[in-house]
Amino acid sequence: MTIAPPASARPRRTLANARPALAIGVAAGVLAFLPLARMPAFYESLLYLVFHWIVLATSWNILSGYAGYFSFGHGAFFGAGLYTTATATSKFDWSFLASLPLATAVAALLGVALGAVVFRVRGVRGELFALLTLAATFVLATIVVNTPLDGGPGVYLNAVPVPAIGPTASSTFYLLALGAATVTMLAAWSIFASRFGAGLFAIHDDEDAAEGVGVPTFRWKLLALATSSALAGLAGGIHALFISYVTASEVFNITVPLTVVLMSILGGTRHWAGPAVGAIVITALLYSFTGGELAILGKAATGAVLVAAILFMPEGIVERVGRRRPRGDSPRVVPGTAAAAATAAGSPVAEPVEHARPTAIGGVVDGVDSGRSAGRDGDADILLSARGLAKSFRGLRALSGVDVDVRRGEILGLVGPNGSGKSTFINLVSGHFAPTAGTIRLEQRDITGLPGHRIAQAGIARTYQIPRPFAHLSVLDNVAIAAMYGPSRAQTVAVGRGQARQWLDFCHLAARADSRPHDLNLHQRKFLELARALAARPSLVMLDEVLCGLTPVEIREAVVMIRRIRDQGSTVVFVEHVMDAVMALTDRIVVFDQGRVLAEGAAAEVMKRPEVIKAYLGIADA
């Protein structure tokens, strides 16, 4: 049985939800009529370059801005599309328009091939990923120069006819770039406003934690890179005919990645429109000064703008302007109420469970009814079974042949000295680490060695000793991620947020829904992790030292909350050093010592055993 808050229906599509898409479409429609005004070719070419850089900057941002994988390899995907069109049209007599889908596909395949290798190597991100993608650009350039694709002198496209889409050649390129920019902006917005985009933002902030709540990190990164690469290839295919002469030295250089990075940072990498704004500003600056010494002045002005943006608007122009507005396109509602949840999700919800408050008398957990369930004996249903579980880290054996059963509906305490293997056990069960030996079965299904996101989707949720919220997401969206990717599988951001508000209400965090995690104290961050775990509606919740660092009053509140979690139908595995809480909460405990199970049974009986006392205190008896 899993935790089951009220079911949410599919949200209603509203005009407000699609407002950005409508704005993009209307703007593109208006701009498409500009060639009828017979503008000078210079202005059409200038607008072409604006749209060209919008495509490149926005496509780069889908991977590097959303998912946080900072890439210097965008020039490789751009160049792959450019050389595909140049080769297909000049050497194989393809029509220019027919070559564009091929250019898009080749760039996407290059991105997928690179990502399929790189994303499987744990820890390759940040500067390592940036350098690796830059190296890939130079490798591709070397291949192009030393094969018939280029051969050294470059590729001429003078004989390739320009399709008659517009009244002039320059207007044709303008319309092609406008179409590519429109497609790119719509793609960026749709990803940004979807559960896919929410998963990418979670990957950006903490990839391991994102995997732990159910985000398929490898698949999502690969899809983001494929989309980014495909759009860059499309821009390259169009640009090949625009410049008419293609050389490797001009294509595969550092200019493209540096320029798109500059544009995206200036506009804002965490918003779908940010790179487009940056592209417009930078292109306007560069081409406002076009002759003689003024060109140098334009570059200097661009550098000054970047310095000022980093110092005074590190989040970018768009985020600075819209700082007070919530991410996404769902309507703003009053946080912390059932009505608010219904508005956010577009569906009716039940009233939240009344909050039970502990009585603050006496010791840490005085006033808390133990509430242990009857009938949890040896023949009770086994929810989770671990057999012979072992884990070694470079010769250090953290777990040695551990056998643990978790019974459905119980609160099982895992106790033992520091370093005894309790957290390692949780890390193995949750898929954070793969076991060296042994098996793990959840409801008779073998989940040994499965990726963390598949284990989370199977119904296991966890918290961490040190809270690991997604730092740049709101408290509400931190919890909504689990609702979208856990077993509940909310299919839209709106539904996920609607469910998330209920769990924030359950954990007394409704008033902080629009805050960032860094605005919360330790107690609230612990409860945020608890709300995130519960939002997935798991069958098994694993709490790793959730009471550590809390005050006695906060511990009492947490104890009541953990009891309520079990009472709503979930099974709880509880790692803790606060023995008063362990004695009050648990139906059974398992004592770990030096990577092995030392004892198990009822807490009151097990804690009196001499071997357990010795493990804790280092003496034979007490």
Residue 284 belongs to domain with CATH number: 1.10.3470
Stretch 59-75: mean pLDDT = 94
E-strand stretches of 243-286: 245-246
Stretch 284-306: mean pLDDT = 72
Q: Are 487 and 536 in contact (CB under 8 A)?
A: yes
Stretch 422-450: mean pLDDT = 94
Q: What percentage of the chain reaches a pLDDT higher than 70?
A: 86
pTM comes to 0.87
- On average, the pLDDT of the chain sits at 85
Residue indicated by tokens 């898929």: 431
In a shared domain, residues 155 and 279 = yes
In a shared domain, residues 575 and 544 = yes
Domain that holds residue 394: 376-459+539-622
Q: How confident is the model at residue 34 (pLDDT cuts 50, 70, 90)?
A: very high
In a shared domain, residues 423 and 502 = no
Residue 175 has pLDDT above 70, yes or no: yes
Residue 35 has pLDDT above 50, yes or no: yes
Stretch 82-93: mean pLDDT = 94
**Number of other residues whose CB lies within 10 A of the CB of residue 339:** 14
In a shared domain, residues 610 and 621 = yes
Q: What is the rounded (10 degree) CA torsion for 53, 55, 58, 59?
A: -120
Residue 517 has pLDDT above 70, yes or no: yes
As for how many domains the chain has, the answer is 3
In a shared domain, residues 198 and 237 = yes
- Dist CA 553 CA 23 (whole Å): 51
Kindly report, residue by residue over 467-495, the tens digit of the pLDDT.
Answer: 999 999 999 999 999 999 988 788 889 99
Q: What token pair was written down for 478?
A: 């931190």
Residue 354 has pLDDT above 80, yes or no: no
Kindly report, residue by residue over 221-237, the tens digit of the pLDDT.
Answer: 999 999 999 999 999 99
Q: Which of 253-257, 306-310, 499-503 has the lowest mean pLDDT?
A: 306-310
Residue 291: predicted pLDDT: 55
- The identity of residue 586, as a single letter, is T
- Dist CA 616 CA 622 (whole Å): 11
In a shared domain, residues 555 and 590 = yes
In a shared domain, residues 383 and 272 = no
Q: Are 443 and 539 in contact (CB under 8 A)?
A: yes
In a shared domain, residues 349 and 424 = no
Residue 379 has pLDDT above 80, yes or no: no
Q: How confident is the model at residue 329 (pLDDT cuts 50, 70, 90)?
A: very low
Local structure of 399: helix, strand or coil: strand
Stretch 99-108: mean pLDDT = 97
Q: What token pair was written down for 330?
A: 């769902």
Q: Which helix (H) or strand (E) holds 25?
A: helix 19-32
- The identity of residue 287, as a single letter, is Y
**Could you tell me which residues are beta bridge partners of residue 150?**
none
CA 581 from centre of chain: 34
Residue 128: predicted pLDDT: 86
In a shared domain, residues 303 and 397 = no
Residue 10: predicted pLDDT: 41
In a shared domain, residues 270 and 348 = no
- Dist CA 227 CA 66 (whole Å): 12
Q: How confident is the model at residue 2 (pLDDT cuts 50, 70, 90)?
A: very low
**Is 370 within the bounds of a domain?**
no
